[in-house]
Structure 1
Amino acid sequence: MSTSTLSPADVAAHVEAQGPVRSSRPQLPARIVLESFPAGGPRGQWPAESFAAERRREGVPARVVMDLASDSFLVIVEASS
């Protein structure tokens, strides 16, 4: 019985033909958390939005996201790649 062995060029061509490797988890952009605010703040006040607006006036592209695991609002900026 004969076993065929692929040359390094054939192996490279085979891998290239398979296309990009995909992981099971989507790649999320890197983020830097500037500040965290509890979600249960006083009614009518938005401290996370106010903080983010101040950062934007300073030229920092801050935005607010909700972190469900910690029940808080995070003021973040996307990390540059």
Structure 2
Amino acid sequence: MSTPTMSLADARAHEAASHVRTSRPQRPARTVLESFPAGGPRGQWPAESFAAAQRREGVPARVVMDLASDSFLVIVEAA
């Protein structure tokens, strides 16, 4: 009786799938341009307005929520 062998492609797929991944993927560095409290006036979005003004100036700003501080952050991610 012979022992079954894997094809080269199967062997590579097996090896790639069997590695233990211990580190998380690196996130891009972020720069916080401005912080706005989450409890702003009803119907107003100061963080979104600020980010839109930054984008008009050519800065790729976006808004994220920081749950720990209960605030909206306008950030730019470094490449």
Counterpart amino acid of 2:58?
G
Give deviations 1:6-49, integer Å, cap 9, x for gaps.
Answer: xxxxxxxxxxxx968631x4422210000000000000000000
Q: Which residue of 2 aligns with 1:70?
A: 69
TM superposition score normalised by structure 1:
0.68
CA distance in 2, matches of 1:42, 1:26: 37
List runs of 5+ in structure 2 lacking aligned partners. Answer: 1-17
For this pair of structures, how many residues does the alignment match? 63
Q: Which residue of 2 aligns with 1:22?
A: 22
In structure 1, C-alpha distance between the alignment counterparts of 2:59 and 2:19, rounded to whole Å: 38
Taking a change above 3 Å as real, the CA distance of residues 56 and 20 of structure 1, as seen in their structure-2 partners, is farther
Residue 50 of structure 1 corresponds to 49
Q: Percent identity?
A: 84
Q: CA RMSD in A?
A: 2.0
TM-score in terms of structure 2 length = 0.70
Equivalent AA in structure 1 for residue 62 of structure 2? R
> 2 CA distance for matches of 1:39 and 1:64?
12
Amino acid at match of 1:79: A
Residue-by-residue CA offset, 1:37-65 (whole Å, 9 max, x unaligned)? 00000000000000000000000000000
Distance in 2 between residues matched to 1:53 and 1:20, nearest whole Å: 42
